[in-house]
Amino acid sequence: MNIKKQIDVSVIVPVYKVEDYLNRCVDSLVNQTYENMEIILIEDGSPDNCGIICDEYSLKYQRISVIHKENGGLSDARNHGIDAAKGEYILFVDSDDFIELDAIEKMILYAKEHRLDIVCGDTYRTILNDSEPIFSRTKLCGGTLENKIITGEEYLVDCIKKKDFL
């Protein structure tokens, strides 16, 4: 009997005109400390070499799949990824971003420990200048910088009060 293990996390990466950033993004995913995941690269009709880069990664790593499609925009690409996803959780990563190597492990363990449907993580904006990158922390879900567990209703109220919807 062949029993397949349930995939915990499907990482969906829409890819369009990010040739200069794509390797860093995908490398940050394939080198994660958490392994029970799949990576779905949605090549959204990019006119540069993104499609070739995606295919090279899928040949090198079994857990990477690539969907090539006609350009339809970010939401359309994400929806294609959702349709293909096998994971219990979905993580969206933009193709010009990268994540810390233990980010997925931390988020999935926290979600399972607290029986959460959604986990939001810290984000940092990198500003490149002549000498070195500058990192600045940006807002989490609901416009808060607090680490807390809230209900969907509390989240919505927080967003309305702060007039900030993510």
Instruction: Give the Cα separation of 69 and 118 in Å (integer).
Output: 28
Domains of the chain plus CATH, in order, are 1-116 (3.90.550.10), 120-166 (no CATH)
**69, 45 contact by CB (below 8 A):** yes
Predicted structure pTM score: 0.84
Per-residue pLDDT of the chain (166 residues; tens, 9 = 90+): 455 568 999 999 999 999 999 999 999 999 999 999 999 999 999 999 999 999 999 999 999 999 999 999 999 999 999 999 999 999 999 999 999 999 999 999 999 999 988 887 777 776 666 666 565 555 555 555 566 787 778 877 877 887 766 5
Residue 120 φ/ψ region, left for φ over 0, alpha for ψ in the -120 to 50 degree band, beta for the rest: beta
